């Protein structure tokens, strides 16, 4: 194993072990992710008809068409889980004979086989723990990708590791993306991989051709990534016109089969979850949502992840050093439009979630803006740099503690219901006397 691959493997293992150790899981929108994965592995389709009796008691996230049952939420996370579930199941089958040697080994193996093979009336909660482990693996992979991005931007390995650690542990990656196998983890993984390809294309333009595939996958994971698809595609055409055909060709590797599946199962190019009618416009609500998504004590990005305040300083450092590129400009526009887009949702606070869930997918871009800050950190030297380093340390520590609390305390989720349901009383999102991140219930 070459040294870069060995480093990546060790980094993945370290991130995964830490992420998986946190106990909270949040399978609110992802109850049907793994059943869809199992349907793909067992039957080669995405219908959930084999679980029909289950849907007499569980209908959240269910979509029915022409007598068939489907997961209403995007197919992407189920596709990502296919190799992981297949790998775990293959391992379990391999070691099952050894399970007879000791009950402590045989019981979890038998439990896996039971939930893997069960159809009909099943308890979907049995997949909560496996979801958390698979989501932790996806998030750990994203952390490795951020490390690679840092080294591609010529950070030292130590500073690239710091960048990746902030990405994984000081943002919603820890408290949201790694807690369940919903859209956010796979989405940000593929956006980070897209960034790696685009950054490396500066030295080797042919690399831009590979960016199309992860960018298309990011859209399959979550429809709000359509903004990234549109603007980064324009960026590629603008910056690498001779290589753009390779970019679009690699994107079609995912786009063509995805559209085909939608046409066969939904009778439309887009799956139901991707329909624009889900957005709602109201000038008063959008104004509140724009502010709330940034600074409210219940969902504010800068409240829950204050280290990202330094993303603005990082952009200024790039402008001052004349290293602010077209890519920076495009990513900044994507973040701004994403902020506006999520603020048009009727429930802009993301239901019974923790912190700025709807901003989770933008973490690769916002942490990318931190690169010049991380490069400038220095305890010895000019006073300005020492001040920046101290500020970074304080804000990163606060962010870390807030997201550790979100990944380890169920009280922060009880906050959504007590004393009043936040979906019915969204004014609670602005109550500084009872902020969610304290989670004292």
Nearest to 169 by CA among 140, 127, 194: 140
Mean pLDDT of 257-276: 93
CA distances from 147 to 109, 140, 193, 212 (A): 34, 11, 11, 21
CA separation for the pair 77, 100 (Å, rounded): 34
Is pLDDT at 282 greater than 90 in this prediction?
Answer: no
Mean pLDDT in residue range 145-160: 97
Provide the pLDDT for residue 279: 64
Contact 32, 46 (CB under 8 A): no
Domain boundaries, the chain: 31-122, 132-438
pLDDT at 228 over 80: yes
What pLDDT score does 101 carry? 66
Report field, pTM of the whole predicted structure over 0.75: yes
For residues 324-353, give the mean pLDDT: 96
Distance of alpha carbon 19 from alpha carbon 135, whole angstroms: 9
Q: Which of 77, 294, 34 is nearest to 184 (CA)?
A: 77
Residues 164 and 403: their CA atoms lie apart, in Å, by: 15
pLDDT of residue 392: 98
CA distances 165 to 143, 144, 162, 173, 197, Å, are 7, 9, 5, 11, 21
Tell me the two tokens of residue 12.
């993945």
Neighbours of 62 (CB within 10 A): 17
Q: How confident is the model at residue 95 (pLDDT cuts 50, 70, 90)?
A: confident
Which residues, other chains included, contact 435 with Cβ-Cβ below 8 Å and sequence gap of 6+?
A: 297, 298, 303
* Pair 356, 300: CB distance under 8 Å: yes
What is the phi/psi pair of residue 136, to 5°?
A: -65, -35
Question: Minimal CA–CA distance to 179: which of 126, 220, 239, 139?
Answer: 139
What span, in angstroms and rounded, lies between the C-alpha atoms of 369 and 108?
43
The fraction of the chain above a pLDDT of 90, given in percent, is 84
pLDDT at 394: 98
Residue 84 contacts residue 127 (beta carbons within 8 Å): no
- The tokens for 98 are 């050894």
Collapsing DSSP to helix, strand or coil, 55 comes out as helix
Tokens for 37, please give them.
């994965």
Percentage of the chain modeled with pLDDT above 70 = 96
Q: Omega into 42 within 30° of 0, i.e. cis?
A: no
Calculate mean pLDDT across residues 156-170: 98
Question: What pLDDT is recorded for position 5?
Answer: 84
* pLDDT given at position 354: 97
- Kindly report, residue by residue over 84-94, the tens digit of the pLDDT: 999 999 998 88
Report d(CA 292, CA 315) in Å as an integer: 23
Helix spans in 127-183 (H): 128-152, 157-169, 172
Instruction: Check pLDDT > 80 for residue 277.
Output: no
Mean pLDDT of 242-248: 97
pLDDT band at 99 (very low <50, low <70, confident <90, very high): low
Contacts of 15 (CB under 8 A, 6+ apart): 139, 140, 143, 144, 164, 168
**What residue spans of 22-156 are helical by DSSP H?**
33-43, 76-95, 103-117, 128-152
Q: How confident is the model at residue 1 (pLDDT cuts 50, 70, 90)?
A: very low
The set of residues, in sequence order, having a beta carbon less than 8 Å from that of 287 and lying 6+ positions away, is none
Distance in angstroms (rounded) separating the CA atoms of residues 435 and 416: 11
**Would the pLDDT of 299 be above 80?**
yes
Contact between 339 and 293 (Cβ < 8 Å) = yes
Distance separating the N- and C-terminal Cα atoms of the chain: 49
Mean pLDDT for the stretch of residues 114-129: 90
Residues comprising the chain, all counted: 441
Supply the mean pLDDT for the chain. 94
Closest by CA to 432, choosing from 313, 295, 305, 244, is 295
Kindly compute the dihedral angle of the four CA atoms of residues 334, 337, 339, 342, in this order, to the nearest 10 degrees.
-120
Angstrom distance (rounded) from CA 300 to CA 277: 25
């Amino acid at each position: 194993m070459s040294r870069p691959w060995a480093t990546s493997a060790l980094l993945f293992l370290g991130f995964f072990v830490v992420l998986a150790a946190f106990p909270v899981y949040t399978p609110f929108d992802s109850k049907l992710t793994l059943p869809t994965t199992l349907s793909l592995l067992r039957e080669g389709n995405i219908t959930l008809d084999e679980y029909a009796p289950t849907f007499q008691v569980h209908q959240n996230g269910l979509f029915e068409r022409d007598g068939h049952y489907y997961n209403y939420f995007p197919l992407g996370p189920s596709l990502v889980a296919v190799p992981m579930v297949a790998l775990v199941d293959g391992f379990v089958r391999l070691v099952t004979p050894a399970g007879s040697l000791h009950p402590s080994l045989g019981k979890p193996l038998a439990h896996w086989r039971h939930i893997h093979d069960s159809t009909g009336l099943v308890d979907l909660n049995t997949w909560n723990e496996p979801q958390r482990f698979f989501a932790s693996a996806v998030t750990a992979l994203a952390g490795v990708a951020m490390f690679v991005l840092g080294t591609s931007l010529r950070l030292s390995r130590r500073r690239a590791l710091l960048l990746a650690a902030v990405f994984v542990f000081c943002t919603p990656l820890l408290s949201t993306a790694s807690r369940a196998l919903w859209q956010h983890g796979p989405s940000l993984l593929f956006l980070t991989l897209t960034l790696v390809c685009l950054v490396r294309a500066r030295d080797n333009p042919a690399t831009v051709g590979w960016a199309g595939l992860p960018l298309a996958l990011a859209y399959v994971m979550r429809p709000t990534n359509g903004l990234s698809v549109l603007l980064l595609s324009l960026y590629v055409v603008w910056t690498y016109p001779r290589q753009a055909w390779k970019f679009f060709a690699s994107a079609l590797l995912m786009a063509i089969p995805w559209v085909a599946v939608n046409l066969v199962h939904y009778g439309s190019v887009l799956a139901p979850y991707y329909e624009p009618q889900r957005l709602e416009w109201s000038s008063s609500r959008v104004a509140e949502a724009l502010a709330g998504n940034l600074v409210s004590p219940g969902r504010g990005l800068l409240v829950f992840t204050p280290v990202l305040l330094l993303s603005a300083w990082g952009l200024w450092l790039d402008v001052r050093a004349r290293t602010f590129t077209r890519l920076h400009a495009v990513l900044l526009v994507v973040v701004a439009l994403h902020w506006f887009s999520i603020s048009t949702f009727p429930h802009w606070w993301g239901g019974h979630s923790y912190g700025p869930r709807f901003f989770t997918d933008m973490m690769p871009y916002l942490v990318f803006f931190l690169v010049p800050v991380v490069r400038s950190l220095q305890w010895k030297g000019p006073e300005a740099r020492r001040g920046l380093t101290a500020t970074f340390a304080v804000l990163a520590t606060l962010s870390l503690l807030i997201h550790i609390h979100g990944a380890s305390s169920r009280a922060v989720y009880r906050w959504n219901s007590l004393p009043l349901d936040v979906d019915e009383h969204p004014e609670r999102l602005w109550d500084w006397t009872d902020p969610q991140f304290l989670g004292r219930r």
